[in-house]
Amino acid sequence: MEPIKIADVQGIITQLARQDVYIHLETTNGAYASHFNEGFFSAGAYIRNAKVNYEHGKIIGDGPYRVGLKIELGWIYAEGLTHYEFDEQGRLLLAGHGGDGKLAVALEISPTPFN
């Protein structure tokens, strides 16, 4: 993976729009809970192989970045993204690493289901 290049990632997000794709979205305690009272509150989310067809998507921010995908009845968001890879299988893999280098959030978009 390499640090996010906003123009490159936006191009891939646009390329994958308006077709059936599979989403993997995962957060760890570090992604959303770091601002709560010294670990007394923890949060996480996990979804894999959610089949969606998003109308359009956008990456914004100055780093870490936020990606939003507009679906028929709402939005899919991932915040805190720092790195990306577009692999030979046509999958956009986005990750957010905390200051300690640990993975805090992952958003992956694929034309085929994840194994």
The model's pLDDT over 19-30, given as tens digits with 9 standing for 90+, comes to 999 999 999 865
pLDDT band at residue 11, thresholds of 50, 70 and 90?
A: very high
The average pLDDT across 14-22 equals 98
Residue 3, preceding peptide bond in cis (omega within 30° of 0): no
Nearest in space to 39 (alpha carbons), one of 48, 30, 27: 30
Number of residues that make up the chain: 115
- pTM score: 0.86
Secondary structure E strands in 1-115: 2-3, 21-27, 45-52, 56-60, 65-71, 74-81, 83-86, 92-97, 103-110
pLDDT band at residue 32, thresholds of 50, 70 and 90?
A: very low
Nearest in space to 57 (alpha carbons), one of 81, 41, 32: 81
* Residue-range domains of the chain with CATH: 2-90 (2.70.180.10)
Report the pLDDT value the prediction gives residue 39, as an integer from 0 to 100: 53
50-86 pLDDT, tens digit each: 999 999 999 999 999 999 999 999 999 999 999 999 9
Query: What is the token pair recorded at 110?
Result: 């694929």
Distances (CA, A) of 7 to 15, 31, 73: 12, 24, 27
